[in-house]
């Protein structure tokens, strides 16, 4: 009878600890300090910039397709109506791409629009009113930690926000730490670590609210998850000990 009481006492303690570790509304709700009909003007004029190791798809066109053909590179040979694949331009360690006819062109640190203007000016020596279309081909962001679908996600377009990236990963789990989300950004080999609080509206004005290519978002487990993990380990040990004690008791009683 005494052993039964001790067992029930152990489970009551574990249950109480479990209740205490439950996440509160204050820990999980986004933008808690945003008022009704409140307007927040984002003063961060974010413009994406090209970086080293970017892959850029560039297509040059004019009213005369034959004159613009030398400025568009394809790999493969057109046979049987199969269109050859367009060649992307890699931004090298010097921040340059090797463009047909005009040679090395510095693009690192330039926005897509700045790159269009620069190429249009350079190509005007050879073409009449050239049209420049370009696109970043390797824009991905990685979301790790306490989210429902961690992974690396390709981005269609020129920019994406932290909230949109988290949405791609299926949102944070209930165990995700919303007050201390880490964004890791690479500037040509230099890592910059920035922490943001998703429960505050001020996150909308964070310098990392708009992500750049290859950014990493890491969501730490909250105290509830850490406590739960600890309790799971303790419960496993307790069950193992209880099993040993029960087995030992059965053997002793059988021998009697």
Per-residue exposure over 30-43, b if at least 16 CB sit within 10 Å of its own CB, e if not: beeeeeeeeeeeee
Class level of CATH domain 55-136: alpha beta
Q: Is the pLDDT of residue 149 over 70?
A: yes
- The per-residue pLDDT for range 126-141, each reduced to its tens digit, is 999 999 999 999 999 9
Q: Is the pLDDT of residue 150 over 60?
A: yes
Q: Quick one: pLDDT at residue 60?
A: 95
Which of the two residues, 188 and 8, has the higher pLDDT score? 188
Going by their DSSP bridges, the two strands 216-219 and 140-145 should be labelled as: parallel
> Which runs of E-coded beta strand occur in the chain?
55-61, 74-75, 85-86, 89-90, 96-99, 103-106, 131-136, 140-145, 151-154, 160-161, 181-187, 190-196, 210-211, 216-219
Burial of 100 (0-12, 13-18, 19+ CB in 10 A): middle
Q: What is the DSSP letter of 79?
A: B
Q: Where are the alpha helices (DSSP H) in 94-211?
A: 112-123, 162-168
Q: Quick one: pLDDT at residue 87?
A: 87
Distance CA 168, CA 165 (A): 5
Q: Quick one: pLDDT at residue 11?
A: 46
Tell me the two tokens of residue 76: 């493969």
Q: Quick one: pLDDT at residue 118?
A: 96
Q: What is the DSSP letter of 220?
A: -
At residue 209, the 3 state secondary structure works out as coil
- Candidate CATH numbers 3.10.560.10, 3.10.350.10, 3.40.50.300, 3.40.50.1970; the one for domain 30-45+139-221: 3.10.560.10
- The per-residue pLDDT for range 192-247, each reduced to its tens digit, is 999 999 999 889 899 999 999 999 999 999 876 656 655 455 556 556 665 665 66
Extents of the domains making up the chain: 2-23+224-255, 30-45+139-221, 55-136
């Amino acid at each position: 009878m005494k052993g039964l009481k001790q067992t029930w006492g152990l489970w009551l303690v574990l249950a109480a600890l479990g209740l205490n570790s439950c996440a509160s509304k204050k820990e999980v709700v986004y933008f808690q300090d945003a008022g009704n009909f409140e307007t927040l003007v984002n003063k961060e004029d974010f413009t994406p910039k090209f970086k080293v190791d970017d892959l850029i798809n560039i297509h040059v066109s004019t009213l005369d397709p034959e004159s613009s053909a030398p400025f568009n590179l394809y790999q493969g040979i057109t046979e049987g109506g199969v269109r050859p694949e367009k060649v992307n331009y890699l931004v090298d360690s010097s921040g340059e791409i090797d463009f047909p006819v005009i040679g090395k062109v510095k693009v690192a640190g330039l926005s897509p629009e700045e790159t269009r203007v620069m190429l249009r000016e350079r190509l005007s020596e050879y073409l009449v009113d050239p049209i420049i279309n370009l696109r970043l081909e390797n824009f991905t962001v990685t979301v790790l930690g306490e989210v429902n679908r961690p992974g690396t996600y390709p981005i269609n377009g020129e920019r994406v926000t932290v909230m949109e990236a988290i949405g791609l990963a299926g949102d944070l789990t209930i165990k995700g730490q919303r007050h201390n989300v880490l964004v890791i950004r690479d500037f040509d080999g230099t890592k910059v670590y920035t922490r943001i609080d998703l429960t505050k509206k001020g996150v909308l004005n964070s310098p990392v609210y708009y992500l750049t290519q290859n950014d990493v978002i890491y969501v730490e487990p909250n105290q509830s998850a850490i406590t739960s993990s600890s309790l799971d380990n303790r419960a496993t040990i307790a069950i193992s000990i209880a099993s040993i004690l029960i087995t030992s008791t059965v053997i002793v009683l059988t021998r009697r």
